[in-house]
Amino acid sequence: MSRARGFPEDSELVVCTVQSVKNFGAFVTLDEYDDKEGFVHVRDVATGWVKYIRDFIREGQKIVCKVLGVDSSKGHIDLSLKSVNEHQKREKVQQWKNEKKAEKLLEIVSERMKISVDDAYTKFGNSVLEYYETLYGAFESVVAAPDEFKEEFKGDWTVIFIEVANENVAAPYVQIDGVLELRSDAPDGVDIIKSAIRKGIAAADGADVKVQYLGAPRYRVAITADEYKDAEDVMKRVSSATIEHMVAAGGEGALKREGK
């Protein structure tokens, strides 16, 4: 969310700034929660034994942590760095950057309306956040489906909101990827693999699919779509068709997804 909130929820991923590193752990501030203080115990910094904590975490560093527990009465927030994989980290950082951008865009809207940012949130920002869940998601949705926005919200501010969205935000899309591991011991194994990949691409029904050879037996599959659910559906069709062809030809196939 773009506005300051109380405390994060258990298991939530949060962007933090490292303030102080000790042998027993690190004190951080939570960027999305009014810089509330959190603590990462040394056992939650990395998997295995941590001999030198500064090999993994340093003052001033931006990190993504998972919330282990919150005691709002005492203001304690326990965090884990090791529980966040690279895929989750990239997604969270991008989400955070998008929300920071969206806050700037709302400032532009408020300037053009000649009202304060606080008044903008009171007048329409909070309602938009409630409906779209994230501010950046609202600006993206306006670009992709302005009619839906106009049906849901009324007022002179909507014209300026749409104007700022179209000036600053590209039409939304998502990209997911995975690695297909394809093996065949047949004399024409290479041809079988190529045929299987063609079958997979055909199963995408024209969706945006790119396959890249990474080195035997690995092939990266990248899917681009308007929505995450659509991308996942395409990935399922592509991988299933590819693997089924491999198995039918006496080979093997499996899809590997990072963080899944």
Position 1 confidence tier, pLDDT thresholds 50, 70, 90: very low
pLDDT tens figures, 152-170: 999 999 999 999 999 999 8
Q: Where in the chain is the domain with CATH 3.30.70.1130?
A: 174-256
Res 16 pLDDT > 50: yes
* Short-list 5, 90, 78, CA closest to 38: 78
Read off the tokens for 104: 């700037």
What confidence tier does 2 reach under pLDDT thresholds 50, 70, 90?
very low
DSSP assignment of 67-117: EEEEETTTTEEEEESTT--HHHHHHHHHHHHHHHHHHHHHHHHHHHHTS-H
Tell me which DSSP letter residue 65 carries.
E
Which of 64-68, 130-134, 158-162, 242-246 comes out lowest in average pLDDT? Answer: 130-134
Report the C-alpha gap between 137 and 118 in whole angstroms. Answer: 20
Superfamily of domain 13-82: Nucleic acid-binding proteins (2.40.50.140)
What local confidence, expressed as pLDDT, does residue 229 receive? Answer: 83
* 108 contacts 71 by C-beta, under 8 angstroms: no
Question: CB within 8 A of 201, min separation 6: which ones?
Answer: 209, 211, 238
User: Which pLDDT band holds residue 225 (cuts at 50, 70, 90)?
Assistant: confident
Question: Which residue intervals of the chain bear CATH 2.40.50.140?
Answer: 13-82
Instruction: Name the pTM for this structure.
Output: 0.62
Confidence of residue 147 (pLDDT cuts 50, 70, 90): confident
Topology given in CATH for the domain delimited by 87-168: DNA polymerase; domain 1 (1.10.150)
Q: What are the pLDDT digits (tens) for 71-109? A: 999 989 999 999 999 989 999 999 999 999 999 999 999
CATH homologous superfamily, domain 174-256: EIF_2_alpha (3.30.70.1130)
CATH 1.10.150.190 in the chain is located at: 87-168
255 forms beta bridges with: 180
H helix intervals, the chain: 86-113, 117-120, 126-132, 135-144, 146-152, 157-168, 189-203, 228-248
Indicate whether 185 pLDDT > 70: yes
Q: What is the spatial distance between Cα 80 and Cα 83, in angstroms, rounded to a whole number?
A: 6
Q: Which residue's structure tokens are 């009324």?
A: 154
- The rounded mean pLDDT for the chain is 92
